[in-house]
């Protein structure tokens, strides 16, 4: 692995443990619940959170990704165990994909397009930071709100939650 990606790999491993704590709280009997008609179900959001690292790391191996050919409808998982398995597989995929990047590929340009229209072009490492990691954290935060709305204790993410205090 190239040196510039080592901190990102450490962050992925640390955040995977945090994400696992959140996914473990997702109740299997509430996977079809959603807070609003326009929202994803709890299960869809949870599987999206579980699979973001691997999916985006795989996408980053391409020179460009055409969103007009993609489906952004997450599948409906059958169980909490499916979520945890998907997270493990996603992290392994991300580690393998990032471990195979050369320095020139990591600093090379990644393009997001919609057909012939360019949405953005950035260094691949910046895309990974923004789309893989920040996107992952955003949806994990959304998932913690779903848990709160279902009155499920929210685990520690970066510090105490209203339900847990790691400092005591």
pTM: 0.95
**What is the three-class DSSP state of 130?**
helix
- Closest-CA residue to 53 (of 123, 132, 124, 106): 132
What count of other Cβ atoms lies within 10 Å of the Cβ of residue 97? 19
Q: Is residue 163 part of a domain?
A: no
Contacts of 55 (CB under 8 A, 6+ apart): 90, 93
Going from the C-alpha of 102 to that of each of 5, 84, 131, the distances in angstroms are: 10, 30, 19
3-state secondary structure of 35: coil
Phi, psi of 48 (to 5 degrees): -60, -45
Residue 51 placed within a domain: yes
Task: Give a yes or no: residue 100 inside a domain.
Answer: yes
| Long-range own/partner contacts, residues 158-167 (CB < 8 A, 24 or more apart) | 158/18
Other C-beta atoms closer than 10 Å to the C-beta of 43 total 24
Query: What CATH number does residue 91 fall under?
Result: 1.20.120.450
Q: What is the pLDDT of residues 120-138, one digit of tens each?
A: 999 999 999 999 999 999 9
Q: Could you tell me if residue 44 is inside a domain?
A: yes
In a domain, 42, yes or no: yes
The CA–CA distances, whole Å, from 4 to 46, 95, 101, 126 equal: 30, 14, 10, 12
Q: What is the pLDDT of residue 71?
A: 86
What sign does the dihedral 54-58-59-61 (CA atoms) show?
positive
Q: Look at residue 162 and tell me if it is in a domain.
A: no
Q: Is 31 part of a structural domain of the chain?
A: yes
CB atoms within 10 A of CB 56: 22
pLDDT in tens, the chain (168 residues): 899 999 999 999 999 999 999 999 999 999 999 999 999 999 999 999 999 999 999 999 999 999 999 988 999 999 999 999 999 999 999 999 999 999 999 999 999 999 999 999 999 999 999 999 999 999 999 999 999 999 999 999 998 999 999 998
pLDDT of amino acid 111? 98
Task: Please give the residue range of the domain that contains residue 112.
Answer: 3-149
Number of domains in the chain: 1
* Residue 158 forms part of a structural domain: no
């Amino acid at each position: 692995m190239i040196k510039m990606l080592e901190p990102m790999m450490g962050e992925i491993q640390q955040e995977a443990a945090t994400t696992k704590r959140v996914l473990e709280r997702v109740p299997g009997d509430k996977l079809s619940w959603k807070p609003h008609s326009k929202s994803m179900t709890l299960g869809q959001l949870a599987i999206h959170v579980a699979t973001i690292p691997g999916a985006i790391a795989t996408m980053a191996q391409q020179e460009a990704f055409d969103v007009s050919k993609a489906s952004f409808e997450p599948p409906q998982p059958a169980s909490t165990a499916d979520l945890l398995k998907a997270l493990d597989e996603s992290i392994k995929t991300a580690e393998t994909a990032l471990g195979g990047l050369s320095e020139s590929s990591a600093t090379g340009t990644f393009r997001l397009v919609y057909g012939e229209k360019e949405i953005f072009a950035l260094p691949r490492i910046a895309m990974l930071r923004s789309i893989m990691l920040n996107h992952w954290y955003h949806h994990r935060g959304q998932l913690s709100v779903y848990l709160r709305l279902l009155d499920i204790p929210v685990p520690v993410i970066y510090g105490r939650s209203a339900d847990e205090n790691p400092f005591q």
